[in-house]
Amino acid sequence: MQIEPLIRFYHELSQDKIDRFADFYAEDAWFKDPFNEVRGLAAIQRIFSHMFKQVDEPRFVVTEQIVDAKGAMLVWVFYYRVRLWGKGKVQAMHGVSHLRFAADGKVNYHRDYWDTAEELYMKMPGLGLLMRGLRRAISA
């Protein structure tokens, strides 16, 4: 698979481009992140559609890539504004996607790794205060 078109797709992802997942993902692709585990293109598209309902100004920036014929590791930063917290500052979440490709070059395996405690919970009002206190209490 040529990885650059997929990276460009993620950089330019918007609500009206969700249907373009079919250009890059196999019909029976598997996807997992800290909150979801689904199989199938339609289910993956629902996850990303849901993202646009939950946050404002979502944007992925791939900062590093390791690619071979069978798959890729993409290091990324996801920028967003949380609707529930008002129009506050832009948040950044750091993560990695492990991708595997089917024989036709489409993604058939997509596993996202990111630290929910540091990248999400510690930034939340209320819960963040508790998480930061817990972190201070148990750190060396």
Predicted structure pTM score = 0.84
Whether residue 114 contacts residue 33, with contact meaning beta carbons closer than 8 Å, is answered with: yes
Q: Looking at the domain assignment, is residue 133 inside a domain?
A: no
Q: Which residue has the higher pLDDT, 122 or 84?
A: 84
- With bands split at pLDDT 50, 70 and 90, how would you rate the model's confidence at 126? low
- 19-64 per-position pLDDT tens digit: 999 999 999 999 999 999 999 999 999 999 999 998 899 999 999 9
Q: Which domain holds residue 93?
A: 3-114
Q: Is the model's pLDDT at 83 over the cut of 90?
A: no
Q: Looking at the domain assignment, is residue 120 inside a domain?
A: no
Strands of the 91-101 sheet, one edge to the other = 37-39, 25-32, 107-113, 91-101, 71-82, 55-67
Can you give the CATH number for the domain in which 24 is found?
3.10.450.50
Mean per-residue pLDDT of the chain: 89
Q: How many domains, in total, are found in the chain?
A: 1
